[in-house]
Amino acid sequence: QTAFIEEIVIYGAHYVIKATFLLFYMRLSPTRWFRIAVYAGFALLLSIFLTSLLMILLQCIPFEKILNPMLHPEVTCLSTRVVMLTPPVLNIIIDFYILCLPISTIWGLQMTLRRKITILPVLAFGLISVTVAIIRLPVLVSVSSGTTDSSIDVGKMVIVASFEVQFAIIAVNLPSLKPLWNKFR
């Protein structure tokens, strides 16, 4: 039950963080193709979020089977592996899309090379978050296989997922810290 609720919270956190990145990107360039790419990112993000949410909520029908597997032994559910691996893989895909989206726009901005390079740490923190998401995949495979002690694997999964979200939160907030950084420099 805890893992079920944790997944819903993580999906919501991912959606909000990625939507914030895309909203920040709207300020980068007024060009038509870039705005279309950002809107496409929003559409992709929303479809991934809804797919993930529906997959977790409708993995078993009736719903009670999810929270108490012993209630309806005759009911077959979606594969645990599919339910646990599909959303993270889709999130990694949208992460790469969001990370790569502003690169050409940033290099096309009229600013010094030094200033452009100072933007790289923001992308680097985003890349760290994606790396942690990729590291989480083997833990999810282990949890979904059912061959090991799931309590240990679920603990690992929660820890790695929290690191992933924390790095993403740092990455999305770095641009807003620039005025503070300039004040103390």
Secondary structure (H, E, C), the chain: CHHHHHHHHHHHHHHHHHHHHHHHHCCCCCCHHHHHHHHHHHHHHHHHHHHHHHHHHCCCCCCHHHHCCCCCCCCCCCCHHHHHHHHHHHHHHHHHHHHHCCHHHHHHCCCCHHHHHHCHHHHHHHHHHHHHHHHHHHHHHHHHHCCCCHHHHHHHHHHHHHHHHHHHHHHHHHHHHHHHHHHHC
Interval 35-49: pLDDT, tens: 999 999 999 999 999
What pTM does this model have?
Answer: 0.84
Interval 71-122: pLDDT, tens: 888 888 888 889 889 999 999 999 999 999 988 888 887 888 887 777 777 7
Per-residue pLDDT at 105: 85
